[in-house]
Structure 1
């Protein structure tokens, strides 16, 4: 079935075709009709499922039907990070290119005056991060009294980042009568509580099992001593001739340190995290997408919402403390039906995180051993790197340093 079945305007159908969409994704198939009927929506959807178009298309249609008279936004989309906000805005602009609706995006880390000028000229749709939105509200440079539609995108991440108080402040600034949508990859107790307070008889949409990795992503664990992780990563990038790899670290400091070490190894790299200026983050992402550098090192918060076409490799340099974040990380690859590889470099003190992840996935992650890289042994000195043994795997890695290696 095509997008024509939704009764979308011709301008939107042309934009959909120009974007290369042919058949609606499951989230689009269920969310678009519900939103067009002015229903509140609670949707379980991960990144890469087409959720921006799932709410963007019907929002554009609804707002185009009822022209506003003022210059204040009629739709507000809240996103947890600058990158996601920018990506959502870019997608909405592309889909609405044939309409006369105006949209803008506001987030921190950049000058506020250009945003103020844009708001003064009037917008229909505003995509924003909570902090900068409240900054505008406090300066009286933004009027939210005419918002008809509210979208909370990646609500679980906003709660994880501590935005619940900011969200509540924003809600107090909005009209009580409005259409609400909440999109979340996971359904925690806090998310359910937020949904109960926000949504009115919502259409509940769960298009796929939460916390499930994409089918096109092959996963593997590399057991390795912590002191050899960087050497193993450099070896994998070189021997595999990887041109584009997204690497996750647990901390900002760790991202900076690893980036510096990779550059010393002769591998082009840049870091992206919350302490980087927006200019630096934008430049790093642009250089990565254009393959001026082949490695982007990121923390979870900075990487949320990154939309990178044809990303073949994701590496967990550090395993995340929250198992669900593993699924979000490896979801950067294998998008839109493509295939990808997700590799995790796991040392002895990350066994609990690995077990929690495998429990969430409901299966063990296969193991790949490499000569010269193994877990620490008492009194042993790590051996120098040797060539990889990529064809030797074991199932259900439990971190035993004396476990036998698979034969060649």
Structure 2
């Protein structure tokens, strides 16, 4: 199957070829004809499946057919959960539309930065707006745009939109949209709340489901390494150097955790940086640009980075802390093994987190063999039930701590400094 056979305009087929889109991915092959025919679409596709182009190409096709005169009316609204995904989708839209006749205009809007430049960008109108829900409502409150002419609504990463608490904002936005419109709904997972939203939003949709097709699954090798919680940082340093990982994305549970792990790696001579929601947009962009350019070997991130960030040729992802939600495991490891490349996903499994990792395995329908690294064998033990299965006390944090009984930041810093000092002294043969 070729892009030309899907019914796209010749100009879009040519642009797709120029951008290196040789043959459609499964989600593109199924979604593009359905969208061109005007159907609502429910696409269940894993991260890295090519779904951005799956909706971008046909909506641009429709815009070319609908454009009349120089005036711009907002015709396509794309809602995304994070600023990183907004920038990525906006970049794809602009790139694909760059050489099209008529000068299709895309505006990207997200919070965390000044609203004024985004309002300026909307002067004179826009054909496409890619936005996070909160910032979109801010722009509407400032009379910077109206949704009355929207002909196509795209919800990208719909499950993440709900996970991040955007349900109320989505309800407000849906009430402002025209009743007659095309709805394109894409999600990597399909939990109950997403099913309810899809049922409310979509009219007789075409269902496209490709995440479980083994022939299209990404080539990701998964490793689960058993290790005590306090040995994870040293194990990470050892693996990075021993296995010569050129570029690594590490996931930690908290903003503080990203800073601490990045600091320890930096002290070991590994160029690293933290990436989390408290960083300014400029700082986040600087970290990502340095990572993409190879100036940083490791980025340690919270789950804000699990979606919407595409790092070409990212060979390794490490779960320093396991994700709280089993579904997020799929999104994390999906950062590697993209675009046909192979990847490695390593998870550190503490004895206390063993039962939680089994939930993750059940969710993905795949057992990951446990392994131990010499010198890092776990000595802690986890509680077990009557059948000998690992379990945890009520309130157990899947990342290894007891909720409500966590140490203060100062205590953690003191302990970390003491451990580092002891380790450094040991490496010097005990000399101060």
Q: Same fold (TM over 0.5)?
A: yes
Give the corresponding residue for 2:87.
Answer: 86
Q: Secondary structure at the match of 2:144?
A: coil
CA distance in 2, matches of 1:18, 1:282: 27
More displaced stretch, 258-267 vs 202-211:
202-211
Q: Deviations over 1:289-328 (max 9, x none)?
A: 1110100111112331110101100000001111111111
Q: Secondary structure at the match of 1:182?
A: strand
Kindly state the Cα deviation for residue 121 of structure 1 after the two structures are TM-superposed.
Answer: 2.6
Give the corresponding residue for 1:200.
Answer: 203
Q: Map 1:9-408; keep pairs closer than 5 Å.
A: 9-68=9-68, 70-99=71-100, 100-209=103-212, 214-377=217-380
Q: Deviations over 1:29-86 (max 9, x none)?
A: 1100000011101110122101001000000000110115643311000000000110
Kindly state the Cα deviation for residue 367 of structure 1 after the two structures are TM-superposed.
Answer: 2.5
Contact 1:211 1:361 in 2 (8 A): no
CA distance in 1, matches of 2:129, 2:68: 14
Change (3 A) 1:129 1:253: same
Kindly state the Cα deviation for residue 399 of structure 1 after the two structures are TM-superposed.
Answer: 7.4
Contact 2:47 2:331 in 1 (8 A): yes
Q: Secondary structure at the match of 1:336?
A: coil
Contact 2:262 2:300 in 1 (8 A): yes
Kindly state the Cα deviation for residue 350 of structure 1 after the two structures are TM-superposed.
Answer: 0.7
Kindly state the Cα deviation for residue 251 of structure 1 after the two structures are TM-superposed.
Answer: 1.3
Contact 1:320 1:353 in 2 (8 A): no
CA distance in 2, matches of 1:16, 1:255: 38
Change (3 A) 1:376 1:33: same
Unaligned runs of 5+ in 1: 379-397, 401-408
Q: Tell me how many residue pairs correspond in the alignment.
A: 381
Give the corresponding residue for 2:426.
Answer: none
Change (3 A) 1:317 1:213: farther
Kindly state the Cα deviation for residue 376 of structure 1 after the two structures are TM-superposed.
Answer: 2.3
Kindly state the Cα deviation for residue 212 of structure 1 after the two structures are TM-superposed.
Answer: 11
Q: Secondary structure at the match of 1:354?
A: helix
Q: Secondary structure at the match of 1:370?
A: coil
Kindly state the Cα deviation for residue 9 of structure 1 after the two structures are TM-superposed.
Answer: 1.8
CA distance in 2, matches of 1:88, 1:166: 20
Q: Deviations over 1:322-368 (max 9, x none)?
A: 11111111111111111011101111111121110111122320233
Contact 1:268 1:293 in 2 (8 A): yes
Q: Secondary structure at the match of 2:372?
A: strand
Give the corresponding residue for 1:6.
Answer: 6
Q: Secondary structure at the match of 2:339?
A: helix
More displaced stretch, 170-179 vs 212-221:
212-221
TM-score, with structure 2 as normaliser? 0.85
Contact 2:46 2:210 in 1 (8 A): no
CA distance in 1, matches of 2:390, 2:228: 11
Kindly state the Cα deviation for residue 369 of structure 1 after the two structures are TM-superposed.
Answer: 1.9
Give the corresponding residue for 1:403.
Answer: none
RMSD: 1.8
